[in-house]
Structure 1
Amino acid sequence: MNLAILIPLVILYIGIMSGLAYYGYKKTVTQEDYLIGGRNTNPIIMALSYGATFISTSALVGFGGVGSVFGMGLLWLAFLNIVLGIFVAFAVFGRRIRKMSMTMNATTFSTFLGKHYESKFITIFSGIMIFVFMPAYTSIVLIGGGRFVQESLSMNFNVALLLIALIVMAYVISGGIKAVMYTDAFGAIIMLVGMAIFLVLTYHAVGGVVEGHNALKALSSMVPDEMAAGGHNGWMSMPAFGSPMWLTLVTTLIMGVGIGVLAQPQLVMRSMTVKNDKALYRSMIVGSVFIFFMTGAAFMIGPLSNVYFMETAGQLAIQTAGGNTDLVIPKMINSLMPDWFVYLFTLTLISATISTVSSLIHVQAASFSEDILSTLGVKRVLWNKIRPARLGVIIGVVLAILLAYILPGGIIAQSTAFWFGICAAGFLPSLVGALFWKGASKKGAEASVITGFVASILGFLFLKSSQSTAFGLSQLLFGKDFLLPFPWTHIDPLMYSLALSSVVFIAVSLKTKASEDRTNKEWEQKEIKAAQQ
């Protein structure tokens, strides 16, 4: 790359991002401004920020690379991203979350659930879950950005990782959610332009839409034996029903992320930042277009990379990338695209990384300060000098960087599904109950949250072979990498942990709601009598 061109371009980009972050800082006066943008964010800014937060390097690099293995079947995830991640999240969930959070004066995801169910336990426990497990997701977003910078700029991976993290930490500490959302919106515009051009040039490189798809279909005979044994039927078809590859594609990649988006704390909080339902509806239109171009493009480019690399290198994409799916998209860009596009996509990937990491770090900091410390009555830390939110940012960044150095290659898509899955199992039943079921009880919500997280985490540690083998705890305790045979080794824990947490939520709520109502009425009567006396 021509550093004489790239360096000024990056300096200009950082200058604009810094200016927007400073503007957000100047607009941040109250704690409500820091946490949820004062509830008056422009709907277009909110939609672009939501999309940029949702679509990170995990989707562009991680899932794009995974698409080179699983094929066009991954487009079902793009469909769920739009239907559940935009229409349901905004028009169904978002409307009620916005109104209820205003009524309860809730400014974080965990305080929203805790105040609705009048449970400090839910607030603190869910805050701890977010603060402890979100760094795993944050780290793989950093890995995606770091890997692209490593490939494109021939920069040391560790240096790239550290540089991105420090940039994010600087403006999240100062400007809060307003700085995050303004910079997200700018990054989203760059991402949209970059991916639209990438998709068009990819189809041009493989001969057009029809020719490219026909060529991809013709590669079915080139499926490696190992993938064919796992159920691979070619890149234009779904894997064989019930096969290991089908279970991974459907239960982990499609359902895990497609359903899990509804319970993502960093995305749910976006609904709290606008002032009315009309703003949510406007956001929905912009968000749908953005998600379509981002996920749809990445999930089509991934499979088509096999056609390109077969024609240019005589190998499938995963073979060209040395078996690491995280390197497929970076290598394709460097091989296929003109220099000017590499510069543009460098900014696209940096934008995707910074936008998502900044939102995740902000949520981690909010969980640390508001959900955990504030609920426990702690207002200042470290000799009464540092606000907990600022300390939470520093801790979140440090944990994410450490995990990014530790995690193995090719882990981006799997880690994304892990985070989305445990959030769905732990939070979704109680969130749905809070929004739509008057029969939901405090004890039912508490039992559901615990059950969902415990069942999901145990599934990853002892049943799902790809994760349990990597963690090694099952081998240490029981002398084997996983405890149950196929198909449990390939079924995502979301499928049974979400079902279990839902059943527990309904059963315990039905059993305890009446007694909780009686107790509340007795307390109200006592308070009335005390006031009268």
Structure 2
Amino acid sequence: MVLSFLIVLSIFLIIGLSSVLQSRGTKSDYYIASSSVPASLVGLSAVATNNSGYMFIGVIGYTYATGLAAIWLMIGWIAGDYLASTIIHSRLRKATESTKEVSYSGVLSNWDGVVDLRLQRTAGLITLIFLLAYASAQLVAGSKALHVLLDWPIEAGAIVGAILVVLYCLAGGIRASIWTDAAQSVVMIIAMSIMLVVAGMSFGGIGGAVVEMREIDGFLNWFPQDLALPGLAGGFLFALSWGFAGMSVIGQPHVMVRFMTLNDSGKMLRARQWYYVWFTAFYFMATAVGMLSRIYITDPGNFDQELALPMMAAELLPPFGAGIVLAGIFAATMSTADSLVLSCSSAVTHDLLPHNIEKPWMLKLGTALITGAALAWALFNKQSVFNLVIMSWSGLASAFAPLLIARCIGMRPPSGVALFSMLVGLGVALGWRLMGWHSAVYEGMPGIIVGFVVLVAGSALFSKSERGSIGP
């Protein structure tokens, strides 16, 4: 098991380090690869970054506990993601070219070429806080897998992951991240395929697995029990809210920066094709494996449900195969952790500091410090991977998605209105989670809606006051 795991990790490390051969030594190259990445690599990198340890650990743990109703997370997430991408991705890539910005916050804040430092620094601070939390969740996911399959101390996976991320991020920046993401995408889908086939065969195929699932009370119900509204209305609202979770991808700097690296905005359709084919296949398999884990590990009260996949791998597969699955889990955590670390680094060196940093060694020092902060957070983290990822995902989406949508449909909200919308959307999402309503309705849904309403209403009021001040 250790041998196959180390072989795969070594391949990732070699790929990441080799990216230094194409490094141009500039900030633009370090953070957005000089917008020179082909469509296939953009799509595979974005899907690897999106899937993350959340898919191997969080989604499978949630599906273990919830059952068939977890399918609405998959349907809603993919549908919402796709709908948002038809409006946003190409326009964001074009804005990246016109603004010459190297960070998501920079493009979002200076969309029309007018520098808005207050908005950019606020967006950079939000990015730093929430992506650090997100990065810590990825390191925790890797730690859990190594703890179960290799019996390493729970902290070991986070430390190993942090070291690998630092090594190839320092070598080639986002280009190293994208190259390794593409390789990690392949390993991730192979690992999940192995688990789906082997686990399914252990119950005699689909028919045998369904018979077992029917024995678990409520496991094959179409919707969870704690809906906000009774009946179909509650089910529709639940599914719709997870559609907003998918739409929330446009508020994730670490994912959207992948599309900012595309070498030609006219090739965005091809990049999206790579992304959605891979994403749909992987998410379907993850949900199926999550359901199979519930009938394989029959006592949900005596273990951490987010460890279901590595526990199954250890019991069902020979050591070499279990090592491949472990490498897949670890690949998922690293493919997102490196993206998160680089986005945090750009938030500090490009968005937050009074004077932008250009020297390569200073950019790399920022990356190393950010990785250390994420590791420290991971070592002291007490939350589940699922909860930490969803909180970060919804917070970022509620802050950024309303403004990005407004920019892409031609709205030009005043700076103060844009800033207020960002803070209100974020506040609504965090308040929704604090009140405990997120189990019935994903908190990003009210956050995005309220943030967008504030933008529309604020812009209208500002325009009205301007007309009034001019007079008849």
Please confirm whether the aligned pair reaches a TM-score higher than 0.5, indicating the same fold: yes
Does the 8 A contact of 1:90 with 1:281 survive in 2?
A: no
Which sits farther off after the overlay, 400-409 or 132-141?
Answer: 400-409
Deviation at 1:244?
Answer: 9.9
CA distance in 2, matches of 1:292, 1:76: 13
CA distance in 2, matches of 1:453, 1:57: 24
The equivalent of 1:211 in structure 2 is 208
Look up the SS of the partner of 2:110 in the other structure: helix
Alignment of 1:24-63 (within 5 A): 24-29=19-24, 30-63=26-59
> Could you tell me the percent identity over the aligned residues?
21
Deviation at 1:352?
Answer: 0.9
**82, 100, 109: which is aligned to 2:104?**
109
Alignment of 1:248-263 (within 5 A): 250=238, 254-255=242-243, 257-263=245-251
Aligned length: 462
**445, 448, 452: which is aligned to 1:498?**
448
CA distance in 2, matches of 1:389, 1:353: 23
Does the 8 A contact of 2:27 with 2:102 survive in 1?
A: no
Consecutive unaligned residues in structure 1, runs of 5 or more? 221-232, 310-314, 465-486, 520-533
The equivalent of 1:355 in structure 2 is 335
1:264 and 2:238 equivalent? no
1:377 and 2:372 equivalent? no
**260, 271, 275: which is aligned to 1:287?**
275
The equivalent of 2:224 in structure 1 is 239
Aligned-residue Cα RMSD (Å) equals: 2.7
Deviation at 1:495?
Answer: 3.6
Q: Which has the larger radius of gyration?
A: 1
The equivalent of 1:440 in structure 2 is 413
Alignment of 1:118-157 (within 5 A): 118=114, 119-157=116-154
CA distance in 2, matches of 1:492, 1:20: 37
Q: Which has the higher contact order (CA 8 A, sep 6+)?
A: 2
Deviation by residue 1:348-406 (Cα, 9 ceiling, x = unmatched) = 11211111101110111011111112xx22537xxxx8854223312321221122122
Cα pair distance change 1:25/1:209, threshold 3 Å: same
**311, 319, 337: which is aligned to 1:331?**
311
**389, 399, 421: which is aligned to 1:426?**
399
**341, 366, 369: which is aligned to 1:392?**
366
**435, 440, 447: which is aligned to 1:463?**
435
Cα pair distance change 1:290/1:516, threshold 3 Å: farther
- State the AA in 1 paired with 2:373: L
CA distance in 2, matches of 1:171, 1:518: 57
Calculate the TM-score normalised by the size of structure 2.
0.90
CA distance in 1, matches of 2:240, 2:131: 18
CA distance in 2, matches of 1:488, 1:352: 25
- State the AA in 1 paired with 2:178: M
Deviation at 1:16?
Answer: 2.4
Deviation at 1:343?
Answer: 1.4
Cα pair distance change 1:134/1:494, threshold 3 Å: same
CA distance in 2, matches of 1:492, 1:340: 39
Look up the SS of the partner of 2:186 in the other structure: helix
Look up the SS of the partner of 1:55 in the other structure: helix
The equivalent of 1:530 in structure 2 is none
- State the AA in 2 paired with 1:372: L
Deviation by residue 1:427-460 (Cα, 9 ceiling, x = unmatched) = 1110101111335333321110111123333444
Does the 8 A contact of 1:256 with 1:421 survive in 2?
A: no
CA distance in 1, matches of 2:272, 2:446: 31
- State the AA in 2 paired with 1:308: Y
Look up the SS of the partner of 2:155 in the other structure: helix
CA distance in 2, matches of 1:508, 1:327: 46
Cα pair distance change 1:182/1:489, threshold 3 Å: closer
